[in-house]
Structure 1
Amino acid sequence: MRGNVVDLAVAVVIGAAFTNIVNSVVKGLISPLVGAIGTKNLDHYSSCLKDPCVVNADGSVKSGVPIMWGSVAGATLSFVITAAVVYFLMVLPMTKYLARQEARKKAREGTHEVIEVTELAVLKEIRDTLVAQRAASHDER
């Protein structure tokens, strides 16, 4: 159980560090690409549910009901990038490694079973031969 706790602690630390990397990629690479189409900050994308929408520079709402779908899109994009990287760099290789280990284990177990079955078949043949010899020696008497 202690090994699992250590593994979990390592995963949390790596995940926290990895979050910073993903946030940097989104802010430094993806946001400028989106900025080529519109604004560089996804947080500026919004719609107004109740007109007129006036938002102060500090982000507080002065009037109206703004829906800040740009920040949701940015967070979703960060999550998708994080999930993809974790899956392709950590989960998929580990799954393949464990499948190979299981296949090797089954192959080793399979060779033992073949040997046991072969030995059992040989022993049955020896038994049948001895029974046949005994029956032949009883018939001669």
Structure 2
Amino acid sequence: MLKGFKEFLMRGNVIDLAVAVVIGAAFNAVIDRMVTSFINPIIGMIFKADSLDGALAVTLPGGGVLAFGAVLGALLNFVIVAAVVYFVFVLPMNKLKGAPAEEAPAGPTTDELLTEIRDLLKAQQETK
């Protein structure tokens, strides 16, 4: 039982996942600070609100509030995170890996090889 648990822990996927979770948590703090310090003030100027949470709010007759700004803020945060992940991590890693290697030209299929062998054997028998 302990051997199986040890094998599970030593798999590359588990270690990679653990590293990804830790890096993701640290990365979330950076993005949160960027949105709070940079994006929210710009949005505050445009919508005349401290953040999108209070912007574009529609009060309902029953006392509820539709917070369109909060949804827009969450979508904007997602787009920012996706852009930073792509441009800071994915794009540089792809450049470090280099251009994808070109695939070797495909050789003849098994049927083509068998046909060629058959024709060679037939030609060999005709010359005897």
Same fold (TM over 0.5): yes
Residue in structure 1 matched with residue 123 of structure 2 by the alignment: none
Q: Does 1:103 align with 2:101?
A: yes
Q: Does 1:3 align with 2:1?
A: no
Give 1:43's match in structure 2, choosing from 53, 62, 67: 53
Structure 1 counterpart of 2:101, which letter? A
Identity of aligned residues (%): 48
Higher strand share: 1
Q: 2-side partners of 1:64 and 1:40: how far apart?
A: 22
The structure whose Rg is larger is 1
Structure 1 residues 47-126: aligned runs within 5 Å? 47-48=58-59, 50-51=60-61, 63-98=62-97, 100=99, 102-103=100-101
Unaligned segments of structure 1, at least 5 residues: 52-62, 111-141
Higher helix share: 1
Unaligned segments of structure 2, at least 5 residues: 1-9, 106-128
If asked which structure has higher relative contact order (CA below 8 Å, sep 6+), I would say 1
1:30 CA displacement: 0.9
Q: Secondary structure at the match of 1:42?
A: coil
Tell me the number of residue pairs that the alignment of Structure 1 and Structure 2 aligns: 95
Q: Secondary structure at the match of 1:40?
A: coil
Residue in structure 2 matched with residue 31 of structure 1 by the alignment: 40
Residue in structure 2 matched with residue 16 of structure 1 by the alignment: 25
Q: 1-side partners of 2:41 and 2:90: how far apart?
A: 30
Structure 2 counterpart of 1:6, which letter? I
Give the root-mean-square deviation of aligned CA atoms. Answer: 2.5
Structure 2 counterpart of 1:103, which letter? A
Q: 2-side partners of 1:19 and 1:88: how far apart?
A: 16
